[in-house]
Amino acid sequence: MEDEFGATYAHVLSDTLVLSAYQLTVDQALAAGVGPREVWDAVCDQQDVPAARRLGRDTPAAR
């Protein structure tokens, strides 16, 4: 979330954004056992994150 929304806003979203799919905030959904991938997909759907950015930034492979 920090890569997409920035460090500060990502934490605000995780605490306040109620995910329509679960009727829970991001933090609550994770605490309730919803998988991180499912939560991230719900955030992306709700915040209109384009498909090209849903996997995060490209980083060079470790050698």
Which range marks the domain in which residue 33 is found? Answer: 2-52
Residue 44 domain-assigned (yes or no): yes
What is the number of domains present in the chain? Answer: 1
Q: pLDDT tens for residues 1-59?
A: 998 999 999 999 999 999 999 999 999 999 999 999 999 999 999 999 998 888 877 76
Give every CB contact of residue 49 below 8 A, 6+ residues apart in sequence. 4, 43
Amino acid type, 22: Y
CA distance 53 to 39: 15
User: Which pTM was predicted?
Assistant: 0.84
pLDDT at 16: 96
Q: Is 61 part of a structural domain of the chain? A: no
Task: Look at residue 25 and tell me if it is in a domain.
Answer: yes
- Residue 62: the pLDDT is 75
